[in-house]
């Protein structure tokens, strides 16, 4: 509690010391000629996730309900360098409460976030660099749930490392590092390098990729190293413009892995398969079907390290249904357009898989219902340069000149 109190005092002091830069529409205007300004932000996330997997005896996922609320306030400084570069230094704290968990007040603060964020705009594109402890939401590209499961994205919300992004009208790429564990007596050294991106060859054809190189090493009491690398190249066809729908797309790609438990095996394993995603959306109502055909890509899931602890989800961050193929997930969703800074997602998912695992027949394995409400204040305060989003620069203000005909000409 002393540490949280100290953070609150520092944030309050920073706020008071830089209040002259704020503009609440009350006549104390923002000093636009100052390159250094006070910044603040608040993220809010309400999350409800109900899972029912008794149909498959909870083989892949446990039947349970997660009901939580998350709030992350930030404060810091923004430094404008010329007209094309902006630097931010942000400090915040994450507060998360699971409904009905009976958590004490001291357990609600989960993590301190501190990061540097830089936006740069050039003639050929936009660049962003983030370093420190920052939200997972700063990832902007589409990653298959074979790489990151939906539950992981809420349960492990932050990265500790850095991410670089570049994009223009037709191309986008991101490359990042997440340091997940520092070598210690009972703490394994773990880190991952992730990357994803796409190139729009035509308005309806996209070529893309996503990949994670995961180094799952050992601790003092449990030495050993497991390499778990996954590559997902894909082709995506989108006929939304031709049909007038919000989305009509087909994504086809491969899930290619390189896996090696160096302590327990002399051989490298290369399990993989194909993944196909069909998506239809109109009137903010969507239907998505994900089909995986191939071998299970989590071969070491039930293996143990030298201390006898199972690898499980520590080694595999993807959806556990990819443990054995084939697999199918159908999602029905409703995401009404409210505002740019408030997003509501309502989803129902039906899962089909192999049961019993490896030897049984293919059938319905369970269902899931999700409600997610996200509020992002920074999209109001900085619509052109949202923290952690590549985005686009704020449009330049146009000046006008009256012509001889009396009309105004924008310059």
Residue 202 has pLDDT above 80, yes or no: yes
Residue 14 has pLDDT above 70, yes or no: no
What does the DSSP 8-state code read for residue 318?
S
Q: Supply the pLDDT for residue 392.
A: 55
Q: Supply the pLDDT for residue 11.
A: 42
DSSP track, 116-138: EEEEEE-SS-EEEEEEEEEEGGG
331-335 contacts at long range (C-beta below 8 A, 24 or more positions apart): 331/286, 331/287, 331/288, 331/289, 331/290, 332/285, 332/286, 332/287, 333/285, 333/286, 333/287, 333/288, 334/284, 334/285, 334/286, 335/284, 335/286
Q: Supply the pLDDT for residue 19.
A: 39
13 vs 149 pLDDT, higher one: 149
Q: Supply the pLDDT for residue 16.
A: 39
pLDDT in tens, 115-144: 999 999 988 899 999 999 999 999 999 899
Residue 290 is part of which domain span? 2-410
Q: Supply the pLDDT for residue 32.
A: 54
Kind and range of the H or E run holding 114 = strand 109-121
Burial profile 211-244: b = 16 or more Cβ within 10 angstroms, e = fewer = bbbbbbbbbeebebebbbbbbbebebebebeeee
Residue 210 has pLDDT above 70, yes or no: yes
Work out the angle at residue 67's Cα, subtended by the Cα atoms of residues 5 and 46, and round it to the nearest 5 degrees: 65
Q: β-strand 226-238 against 205-216: which pairing, if any?
A: antiparallel
Q: Supply the pLDDT for residue 83.
A: 85
Whose tokens are 């590209």? That residue is 141
d(CA 209, CA 231): 7
Kind and range of the H or E run holding 3 = helix 2-17
| Dihedral sign from CA coordinates of 350, 54, 148, 375 | positive
Domain CATH number, residue 244 = 2.40.160
Q: Supply the pLDDT for residue 373.
A: 96
Q: Supply the pLDDT for residue 403.
A: 39
Residue 362 has pLDDT above 50, yes or no: yes
Q: Supply the pLDDT for residue 189.
A: 94
Percent of the chain residues topping a pLDDT of 70: 87
Q: Supply the pLDDT for residue 33.
A: 62
Of the candidate ranges 88-92, 152-156, 213-217, 400-404, the one whose mean pLDDT is the lowest? 400-404
How much of the chain is in helix, strand and coil states, percent to nearest 5? 10, 50, 35
Quote the mean pLDDT of the chain: 87
d(CA 213, CA 195): 9
178 vs 15 pLDDT, higher one: 178
DSSP track, 201-223: EETTEEEEEEEEEEEE---SSS-
Q: Supply the pLDDT for residue 30.
A: 47
Answer for the pair 239, 278: CB distance below 8 angstroms, yes or no. Answer: no
Q: What is the pLDDT averaged over residues 80-108?
A: 90
Domain total for the chain?
1
Q: What is the pLDDT averaged over residues 203-218?
A: 96
Kind and range of the H or E run holding 153 = helix 150-155
Q: Supply the pLDDT for residue 15.
A: 39
pLDDT in tens, 363-383: 899 999 999 999 999 999 988
| Count of Cβ atoms closer than 10 Å to residue 321 Cβ | 28
Answer for the pair 377, 385: CB distance below 8 angstroms, yes or no. Answer: no
Q: Supply the pLDDT for residue 306.
A: 87
Residue 258 has pLDDT above 90, yes or no: yes
13 vs 379 pLDDT, higher one: 379
d(CA 35, CA 37): 7
337 vs 214 pLDDT, higher one: 214
146 vs 24 pLDDT, higher one: 146
Q: What is the pLDDT averaged over residues 194-211?
A: 97
Spatial neighbors of 19 by CB under 8 A, at least 6 apart, are 38
Q: Supply the pLDDT for residue 401.
A: 39
Find how far residue 22's CA is from the centre of its chain. Answer: 30
**Residue 92 token pair:** 């915040």
pLDDT in tens, 224-244: 999 999 999 999 999 999 999
Q: β-strand 342-355 against 205-216: which pairing, if any?
A: unpaired
Residue 166 has pLDDT above 90, yes or no: yes
**Shortest CA distance to 168 belongs to which of 391, 394, 383?**
391
d(CA 120, CA 392): 10
Residue 261 has pLDDT above 80, yes or no: yes
401 vs 390 pLDDT, higher one: 390
């Amino acid at each position: 509690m002393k540490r949280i109190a100290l953070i609150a005092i520092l944030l309050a002091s920073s706020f008071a010391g830089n209040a002259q830069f704020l503009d609440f529409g009350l006549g104390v205007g923002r000093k636009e000629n100052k390159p250094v300004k006070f910044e603040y932000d608040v993220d809010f996330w309400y999350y409800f996730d109900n899972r029912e997997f008794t149909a498959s005896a909870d083989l892949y996922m446990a039947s349970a309900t997660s009901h939580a609320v998350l709030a992350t306030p930030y404060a810091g400084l923004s430094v404008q360098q010329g007209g094309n570069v902006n630097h931010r230094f942000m400090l915040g704290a994450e507060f998360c409460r699971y409904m009905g968990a009976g958590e004490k007040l001291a357990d609600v603060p989960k993590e301190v976030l501190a990061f540097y964020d830089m936006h740069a705009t050039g003639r050929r594109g936009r660049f962003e660099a983030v370093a420190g402890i920052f939200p997972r939401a700063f990832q902007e590209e589409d990653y298959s749930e074979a790489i990151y499961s939906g539950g992981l994205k809420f349960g492990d919300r932050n990265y500790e490392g850095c991410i670089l992004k570049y994009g223009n009208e037709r191309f986008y790429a991101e490359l990042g590092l997440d340091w997940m564990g520092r070598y210690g007596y009972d703490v394994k050294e773990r880190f991952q390098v992730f990357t994803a991106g796409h190139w729009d060859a035509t308005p309806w054809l996209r070529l893309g990729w996503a990949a994670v190189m995961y180094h799952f090493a050992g601790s003092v009491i449990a030495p050993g190293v497991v390499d778990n690398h996954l590559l997902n190249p894909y082709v995506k066809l989108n006929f939304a413009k031709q049909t007038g729908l919000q989305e009509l797309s087909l994504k086809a790609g491969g899930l290619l892995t390189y896996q090696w438990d160096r302590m327990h095996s002399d051989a490298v394993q290369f399990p993989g398969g194909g993944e196909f995603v069909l998506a239809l959306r109109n009137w903010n109502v969507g239907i998505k079907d994900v089909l995986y055909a191939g071998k299970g890509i989590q071969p070491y899931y039930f293996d143990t390290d030298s201390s006898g602890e199972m690898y499980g989800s520590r080694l595999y961050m993807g959806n556990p249904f990819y443990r054995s193929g084939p697999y199918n997930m159908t999602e029905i969703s409703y995401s009404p357009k409210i505002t740019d800074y408030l997003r509501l997602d309502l989803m129902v998912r039906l899962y089909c898989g192999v049961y019993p695992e490896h030897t049984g027949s293919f059938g319905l394995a369970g269902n899931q219902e999700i409600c997610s409400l996200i509020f992002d204040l920074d999209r109001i305060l900085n619509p052109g340069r949202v923290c952690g989003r590549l985005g686009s620069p704020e449009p330049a203000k146009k000046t006008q000149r009256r012509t001889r005909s009396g009309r105004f000409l924008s310059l």
